[in-house]
Structure 1
């Protein structure tokens, strides 16, 4: 497992490598225009987004989890765009391999 983990980390370093992953973020949906901006970003990156899950945490806060697939740089760029929005309380990117390089 340790060797496999290092191989996956090496794959992430190559910006041309294709990865899959999740972008998870928590936000206050009452924040002015934030929901519209998030939707615009998702539509700008529709080719990389496989699925989106939206969860209501309480009256004010939502959690979204986006499953993504694409080149490392593009996936990181998408996560960074979301993370930079005012009103995003927390955002994390978790990438893994497609498995092609490990076979």
Structure 2
């Protein structure tokens, strides 16, 4: 690992300490590495639309909007290869929240998410993308707690 020295004003340092505490980071270096990784994922230079990813699409919609529920269901069914799971929650009499877990080529996942978020009646939408190499996702791994050793298998 490389050692880097940076200068940060008091206000930013306070925000970093809050981020570190809220995120459960053991030290500032861990927190800064986490922030740098997240920032690099958002830069156009590192954006590889062909890269495999997993993602969470979160959106809130008015289920009273004409045919919206049917259109959303159709969209998910027509992209079944991309959909892992969906959680549906009724927020009130007319509003639903869905969280859809997706996998696939980043550009295709983003295109699908943009289509869903752009549907008339969808009030809010956000996509969180995590890069994932298929080979790594299929390989067994160990979590930090030794009691949770297990292998993941693809569907």
- Matched residue, 2:28: none
Structure 1 residue ranges without an equivalent (≥5): none
Instruction: Report which of the two has the higher share of strand.
Output: 1
1:42 matched to 2:81? The reply is no
Give the secondary structure class of the aligned counterpart of 1:47.
coil
1:57 aligns with 2:91: yes
CA contact (8 A) 1:21 1:94 kept: yes
Calculate the TM-score normalised by the size of structure 1.
0.86
Q: Which has the larger radius of gyration?
A: 2
* Residue number in structure 1 paired with 2:101: 67
Query: Which residue in the other structure is 1:84 paired with?
Result: 118
In the alignment, structure 1 residue 5 sits paired with structure 2 residue 30? no
Query: Within 1, Cα distance between the matches of 2:79 and 2:120?
Result: 19
Contact persistence 1:12–1:19 (CA under 8 A): no
Which 5+ residue runs of structure 2 have no aligned equivalent?
1-32, 137-155
- Within 2, Cα distance between the matches of 1:84 and 1:3? 30
Aligned counterparts of 1:54 and 1:93: Cα–Cα separation in 2: 16
Distance, in Å, in 1 between the alignment partners of 2:74 and 2:46 is 26
Quote the RMSD (CA, aligned, Å). 1.9
Are the counterparts in 2 of residues 12 and 72 from structure 1 also a CA contact under 8 Å?
A: no
**Which gives a bigger RCO, structure 1 or 2 (Cα 8 Å, sep 6+)?**
1
Is contact 2:51–2:131 with CA below 8 Å preserved after alignment?
no
